[in-house]
Each structure stands twice: as C-alpha cells, then as structure tokens.
Amino acid sequence: MEAPDTSAETNPPMATAEKRSGGAVIPHRAKWHQQLVATLIFVLVRTLAATVRFKLDDQCGIFSEVPKEKLIFSIWHNRLVLALILYRHYISRRDRSRRMAAMVSASKDGGMLTRVLELFRVEPVRGSSSRRGAQALREMAAWGERGLDLAITPDGPRGPRYVVQHGAIATAQLTGLAIIPVSYRVKWKIELKTWDRFQIPLPFCLCEITTAPAIRVPREASEVEYEALRKKLEDDMRRITRD
C-alpha cells in the first residue's frame, strides 16, 4: 500500500518497470513462482492472525462500529503484515459488502504483492512515488467514487521511515474522503534490517491497535493548508506509534 506521487507522469520511471513505446509504465505481473509465494504468504498471515490477540484504542471512534462513510486508512509501511487483517477484523467482517482498494508498487515485487491483495479481496492499484504516480492517484479516486475504502502507506515505498509523503493528502483532497491514521504495536516480533525496519509479528503476540481522529482535506486547500495537514497527519501517526 504505497503513497502515490502527484507529480506529472513525465518523470522517467525506474529501469525495472516496463514501458510502452509512448512512455507509459506497464506494471509487472506476477509470474507463476511469485503467485505461489503470494499464496504461501496469504496462508501464513491468516494462520498467524488466528493466534494474535487484539486490543483497540479507538481514538477516532470508527472501529467500534462500522462507519457508514468510506475512508482512507493510513498505516506505516513497516506494519503491513497485519494491516489487511485489521481491516477484515474490524470492518469487512461486520459488513460483507465493504471492500477496499490499496496502492501497490508497479515493480516486479509489486506483482507478487498484488496477488496477495487479491487473495484478501482487496483491489490493487499499481503505482508509487516513483512509478505511475499520477495515474495511480486517479485510479484510487475512481475506486473511492465506486464506494470502496482506500488504504495508503504514507511513508512508502522508499521512505524515509515515518515521514508522510504527499500522496495521502492528495488522495484525500481529490476524493473528499477522510483519512484515518492507524498504527499498532507488537512486542513479540522480528524486525528486519530494511529502510523501514519491517516488522513481522510472532505467533500468540498481543497487537495493540491505536487510531487517531479523522483528518479531512478541503478540495480548495491552499498550499499552506495542504502542508499543515500533511504535517498533522505525520504528527498524529508518530504520536500513536510505539516501536
């Protein structure tokens, strides 16, 4: 779930992304071995989640009851393992008609993650801050108009860690949907030596989930208001985050 870039699509894409002759980036599709790995990840995450205990501090007041309005969920890149489980546990399990779209990188690795999302019944939108950013933003907005919730990792796909990029605010401004900051803490975990210190929860851990009040971005927000709201989202996300 990546944060889309709002810059023009004339920016040169990374070498790992495919291109049409016109210059448009074609997202990589998952190959057979990536689909196999994606299925394994899906099974492992579902199995892990069955052992996890959840504790909720719902400061936004929307997880206690399923909200009627559609929302943008913002969660750090290093907490993706349980992100879809949280949505299923608190939202879609209570309302079977509820669906979500999420941002995934257009890179080769993104092809595998796309398949993981599909297994979780999440609509993947291919793009990030370095590939298909503007097009991905429009696709996210389109899914929002169709009545889906949206999910973004505001510091993805490359960081810096815990620094909110512009994608989440741009998506909220374009769609009119409120942003819900979400984070969680698990004490029993493996922390990888990646840019985001990616967290892999261990079985039978306690997952302490915290949300912050909703953030709304006016469609006619000035540059000053836009930056103030980006900073507020970053501050709120950091406030509810404990490593």
DSSP string, 27-95: PPPP-HHHHHHHHHHHHHHHHHHTT-EEEEEETTS-SSS--SS-EEEE--GGG-TTHHHHHIIIIITT-
DSSP state at residue 202? P
pLDDT at residue 26, as a whole number: 56
Confidence grade of residue 11 (pLDDT, cut at 50, 70, 90) = very low
* Range(s) of the domain holding residue 203: 18-239
Residue 40 has pLDDT above 60, yes or no: yes
> How far is the CA of 228 from the CAs of 18, 127, 162, 164, 219, in angstroms?
36, 25, 16, 12, 14
pLDDT at residue 127, as a whole number: 73
Q: How big is the CA angle at 29 (ends 133 and 7), to the nearest 5 degrees?
A: 5
Confidence grade of residue 50 (pLDDT, cut at 50, 70, 90) = very high
List beta partners, residue 207: 54, 186
Confidence grade of residue 201 (pLDDT, cut at 50, 70, 90) = very high
Choose the most confident range, by mean pLDDT, from 3-12, 119-128, 220-229: 220-229
With respect to residue 145, please indicate whether it lies within any of the assigned structural domains. Answer: yes
With respect to residue 5, please indicate whether it lies within any of the assigned structural domains. Answer: no
Rg (alpha carbons) of the chain, rounded to whole number: 17
pLDDT at residue 15, as a whole number: 30
Average pLDDT (112-129) is: 87
Whole-angstrom distance, CA of residue 143 vs CA of residue 82: 22
Average pLDDT (210-230) is: 96
Residue 25 has pLDDT above 90, yes or no: no
For the chain, give the mean pLDDT.
86
With respect to residue 11, please indicate whether it lies within any of the assigned structural domains. Answer: no
| Higher-scoring residue by pLDDT: 37, 19 | 37
3-class SS of residue 166: coil
pLDDT at residue 7, as a whole number: 41
Whole-angstrom distance, CA of residue 39 vs CA of residue 51: 19
Average pLDDT (222-231) is: 97
Average pLDDT (179-185) is: 98
- Please give the tally of structural domains in the chain: 1
Average pLDDT (141-160) is: 93
With respect to residue 4, please indicate whether it lies within any of the assigned structural domains. Answer: no
With respect to residue 71, please indicate whether it lies within any of the assigned structural domains. Answer: yes
With respect to residue 9, please indicate whether it lies within any of the assigned structural domains. Answer: no
pLDDT at residue 109, as a whole number: 66
pLDDT at residue 108, as a whole number: 65
List beta partners, residue 124: 102
Task: Look at 18-22, 135-139, 209-213 and tell me which has the smallest mean pLDDT.
Answer: 18-22
